[in-house]
Amino acid sequence: MAILAKLKLEAREVGLVTLYFLLCFGFILTLKKLLLAAYHIEFYALSTAVVGALIVGKIVVVLDKTRAGTRFDRSYSVGAAALYKTMMYSLCTAFVLGSEKLFHAYRESVTLSEAFMDVWMHQDRHIILAKVLCIGLAFMGYHLYAGIDRRLGEGTLKTMIFTRPS
């Protein structure tokens, strides 16, 4: 029975974080879809948002349990700790997104240097930067909320936000 309780706790913790990122990514990709619609370009965002939220949600929960994720929680302000985590997670995001673009370009070219030049010259760096900024904002919101909730006591902030005053 202890395993079932642990699985329920894990599913709840990862599920809530994943739901948050699904809402953020859904908003970002809906905005992208609306902007591209002005140019009559079709874009399907739902699967991208779901897969991205599942991956990022689990990674954030795991990283929040490591030393890198808790390094500044006790000795710095909530804002400084959230900024540190956001910068670290955003750098990782930039690396992953850049690697993904490079991988796809490498499959179509002969050499790695040709693939890198293809990615760099075709303005993909601007798209990567835009994605990193949007995802970074989602990270910042999550880390600020989690940091304030931790300082107030687990669940206190959620109660303050989602319940009516008596």
Q: Which amino acid makes up residue 115?
A: A
Distance CA 25, CA 49 (A): 5
Give the H/E segment covering residue 19: helix 2-37
Q: 103 or 68: which carries more pLDDT confidence?
A: 103
The 10s digit of each residue's pLDDT in 93-107 is 888 888 888 888 888
- The CA angle 127-128-134, to the nearest 5 degrees, is 90
Q: What is the pLDDT of residue 148?
A: 93
* Residues 53-58, mean pLDDT to the nearest whole number: 90
Chain-wide mean pLDDT for the chain? Answer: 87
Q: Which amino acid makes up residue 153?
A: G
Distance CA 132, CA 94 (A): 6
Q: What is the pLDDT of residue 138?
A: 96
If you ran DSSP here, which 8-state letter would residue 44 be given?
-
Domain boundaries, the chain: 1-63, 76-166
The 10s digit of each residue's pLDDT in 111-161 is 888 888 887 787 667 887 888 999 999 999 999 999 999 899 988 988 888
Helices (H), 38-155: 46-63, 67-70, 78-108, 112-121, 124-152
